[in-house]
Structures are given as structure tokens and as C-alpha cells.
Amino acid sequence: MLKQILAEFLPLHRTLASEDMDRTLQMIGAHMPESSGYTIETYAPGASVWTWKVPERYVVHAAYLETEDGERIVDFKDNPLHLVSYSLPVDEILTWDELQPHLYFNEKRPWAVPWIFKYYQRDWGFCLPKNTFDQLPRHKKYHAVIRSEFVTDPQQGFKVATAVVHPQNGPAPEAGEMLVLAHTCHPMQANDDGAGVVSAIELARRLTENPLPPGSMSIRFWFGPETIGTIAWLAHNEALIPRLRAGIFLEMTGNRNKIAWHHSRQHNHLLDRVAHYVIQNMEHDEREFAAAPANDERVINGPGVNVPCLSLNRWPYEEYHTSDDNLDIMHEDMLLEAAAVAEQIVRIYATNYIPKRTFRGPLFLSGHGLWVDWRENWALNRAIEKIMMRFEGQHTIFDIAEEVGLDYWTVREYVEKFRLKGFVLPVPIPSEAQSA
């Protein structure tokens, strides 16, 4: 059950770099296929990664807000959402006017605790239900205590994790890799993005149990903190970028909304067309690249990288960024459906190639076992000439299937017969990644 995996790491203080982030990545690794070579990488805090810097590890020893006479209002140990992520240390007695700018609540869900982060602003604050905020006496003084530290020890650095599922017979380096991402950095949030994490785990399992055919792309899975995680990982692994052929970002996959897919930055790329082909017959929303919510696809498909990347999610939902984003709104069938949609996109895109002919003149089909009996498959029989006319090294199998109006797998199975007899060579989908 994917919900059971999600329940393991849901309560943890999963912020950019923390002990609980380490534990989360270890838990994910325990559920990934053993053959995927799951690896956790560590980067030194403060190191430059393109135009960013690797964040420090955030350690919270205690954090609470109480009245001056000791009545406890919120406490980090009860719920990590009570503390604004990456809050500065503080130990002060404050008037209401001094305290109020540091308190956060959600107007639309007055019973819920919001999730607020200030990773880079170097501020501090507490989060609480609006119902509690409204009841706080304005005439009293308050004791705000945050015992936190920002650790720069390289040995306790910033972590991300990757794993790779290869096709049958092992990796085909010339085919490259497809990337599947999900982020891990939102404490006490089930749908955002624990849901994407477990849908990705399910996808990895499916591709391991039923591997892609020989010569296909390898599928690399990535888990880590949103945005800065992919930036730090790519900056430390720039040699990987030219191997990437496409990406899918998975998030918010567990609630009851219909699935939404966001275009790549290229918009009409092969990846977009494959996604449309897969999703067209199910209820869905179609959105522009980086339309809200925009996440790691902005890095993978952004300037200087430009690997086509789309995202799948079920946003918006009312519980977003509050304590109501919990297991109650997670549904196993939705988590599995998102994994299944991603799987179909991956299976088509990663097995696609450009067939380039080695023969001259009309091919003697029946003499080589390539003729299709019209009584058995009329549509394919009628399309044979059109298919062969597109073996000039300019069309992928998916392109050909689109142009002749046939199912991708039907066309691929037929083209494979030509390849196995040496009449076409499989040219890999080229990399479109930018070098800088």
C-alpha cells in the first residue's frame, strides 16, 4: 500500500536539510527496487551551485510560544508546522504588537495550521490556527523561544537521492535517460509531495518487474528538496545533463481531483505529444509549462539545461499547505492512477527511436516475412507503404504512428520486425540539453 509508505515519513520534520530529511531519504531507499542502485549524495553547505548556494542543515532543539506566565500556545514538538521553516534563533519577551508580525494562520481554514517557510529571508515565526490566534489576549506579553542552529559541517550536508532502473539487458548508453522527480521537503504534508514520492516508488517497481525492452532509455529517479535540490544535484553532475532526454515531475497525486498535466517549456515537443496521446481519453486538465504550481521542471527544463520536462499533479486542492494536507485526503487508487499515467508516458517515450533504412528500392515484404495479411489487420496492411516511406531517419516511431493514425505499440512492433532483419537501424532520440 502506497499510503502505508507515505505514513512512515509523513510526520517527520522534512525541511531542506535536517536529520528527518536524512531519515526520509533512507526510508524511500528501503522501498525502491534493490537493483536500482539507490544512492544518497551529500553536498557541502555554502558551496556555490550555479547562481545559488547549498543551504545549511537546520537543527531545531526546541521551539515554542507561551504567555509570559508560562501558558504554552504552540510547540514544535507537537507539530513541526508550528515553526516557520528555517526560523532564526530567538528567546524574547514580546508585547502583542511586537509578536503579531511573526504569527501566521490560514484565513480560509481557521482550524488548521499553515505551513510557512522562510528559507532565505532569515526571519522567524510561528504558525497556528486562526481560531487560536483570535483568542490570544492582546494585553499580555509573550515568550517566544526558538533554539535552532544552522550547521555548515560538510559531513552533515545537504542531501538528495537518485536511483536508476535499466531496460532489459542493461543500460543502452546511446539511448540516454529519462528523469522522474518528486520532492521530499514539505513537513507534515501528505499530498505535497509525499504523494508524488510514493507514486514514483510505484513507477520504479513497475519498471523493474516489467522492464523496458533492450535498447530503451534508462529511467533515473530523483528525490530531494524542491528547486535547490535539483539545482545542487545538476551542478554537481553536469556530465549527466547531455544524457537526459526528458523528464516528468510528479506531485500532489493522491487527492480526488482529476489529473492535470503541464506542458514542457517547448510546448509541442515529442514529450508533450506522447503525454497528450496517453491522457486524451481520460478526464484531465491541460496546462501551460510552469503554471501554478511550478516546481523542479523549471530547473530541468530551464535555462542552460533545457531538457523537456512536464509535470503531473492534482492541484489545486483546499487543504494545500496546511495541516489538513494529511492521510485523510490520500486515496490509494489516485496514487496508483498517477503512477500508471506516468508509466504509459515513460514506456512510449523511452522505447521510441528513429528508424533509418538500410535497403534500397521497394522491399520484398513477403520474401522476408514482413507482409501483413489484410484479412488479419486491414489498417496495418493499408499503412505499410506509408510506414516504409518514413524510414529516412527523420521520423520517430511515434511520429510515424501519429501520421498513419495507428496505435504506437502496433507500429513499434511492426518496425521492430524490420530492425531485427537488419532493414532499419535504430537511431536514438537526440539530446536537446544545453551545454551551458
Q: Which residues contact 37 (CB under 8 A, 6 or more apart)?
A: 163, 164
pLDDT computed for residue 436 by the predictor: 79
Q: Which of 68, 84, 110, 95 is nearest to 76 (CA)?
A: 84
Cis peptide before 316 (omega within 30 of 0): yes
Q: Say if residue 188 is in the same domain as residue 236.
A: yes
Q: Say if residue 282 is in the same domain as residue 394.
A: no
Whether 283 maps to a domain, the answer reads: yes
Q: Say if residue 241 is in the same domain as residue 362.
A: no
Q: Say if residue 312 is in the same domain as residue 280.
A: yes
Q: For residues 266 and 243, what is the distance between their CA atoms, to the nearest angstrom?
A: 18
**Which of 151, 170, 191 corresponds to the end of one domain?**
151
Whether 436 maps to a domain, the answer reads: no
User: CA–CA distance from 426 to each of 59, 112, 318, 355 (Å)?
Assistant: 52, 55, 48, 5
Q: Say if residue 93 is in the same domain as residue 229.
A: no
Q: Say if residue 316 is in the same domain as residue 221.
A: yes
Domain count, the chain: 3
> Domain range for residue 270?
2-55+179-351
Q: For residues 297 and 274, what is the distance between their CA atoms, to the nearest angstrom?
A: 17
C-beta separation of 159 from 45 below 8 A: no
Q: Say if residue 200 is in the same domain as residue 234.
A: yes
**Which of 351, 366, 400 corresponds to the end of one domain?**
351
pLDDT computed for residue 365 by the predictor: 97
pLDDT tens, residue by residue, 325-364: 999 999 999 999 999 999 999 999 999 999 999 999 999 9
Name the β-bridge partners of 84: none
Q: Say if residue 268 is in the same domain as residue 359.
A: no
pLDDT 10s per residue in the chain (436 long)?
999 999 999 999 999 999 999 999 999 999 999 999 999 999 999 999 999 999 999 999 999 999 999 999 999 999 999 999 999 999 999 999 999 999 999 999 999 999 999 999 999 999 999 999 999 999 999 999 999 999 999 999 999 999 999 999 999 999 999 999 999 999 999 999 999 999 999 999 999 999 999 999 999 999 999 999 999 999 999 999 999 999 999 999 999 999 999 999 999 999 999 999 999 999 999 999 999 999 999 999 999 999 999 999 999 999 999 999 999 999 999 999 999 999 999 999 999 999 999 999 999 999 999 999 999 999 999 999 999 999 999 999 999 999 999 999 999 999 999 999 999 999 999 999 998 7
Report which residue type is found at 153.
Answer: D
C-beta separation of 273 from 398 below 8 A: yes
C-beta separation of 307 from 432 below 8 A: yes
Q: Say if residue 316 is in the same domain as residue 200.
A: yes
pLDDT computed for residue 435 by the predictor: 85
| Three-state DSSP string of 49-78 | ECCEECCCEEEEEEEEEEECCCCEEEECCC
Would the pTM of this model clear 0.85, i.e. be above it?
A: yes
Whether 199 maps to a domain, the answer reads: yes
Q: Which of 64, 102, 57 is nearest to 80 (CA)?
A: 64
Strand intervals (E) in 85-151: 90-94, 103-104, 126-127, 142-151
Written as one string, the DSSP assignment of 151-172 is E--GGG-EEEEEEEE--TTS--
pLDDT tens, residue by residue, 45-75: 999 999 999 999 999 999 999 999 999 999 9
C-alpha cell at 219: 529511467
User: CA–CA distance from 259 to each of 248, 280, 317, 346 (Å)?
Assistant: 14, 11, 12, 17
Contacts by 207-212, CB closer than 8 A, 24 or more apart: 207/165, 207/343, 207/346, 208/33, 208/35, 208/36, 208/165, 211/165, 211/166, 211/167, 211/168, 212/167, 212/168, 212/346, 212/347, 212/350, 212/351
What are the phi and psi torsion angles at 115 (to 5°)? Answer: -105, 120
C-beta separation of 202 from 335 below 8 A: yes
Q: For residues 328 and 255, what is the distance between their CA atoms, to the nearest angstrom?
A: 9
C-alpha cell at 356: 533509418
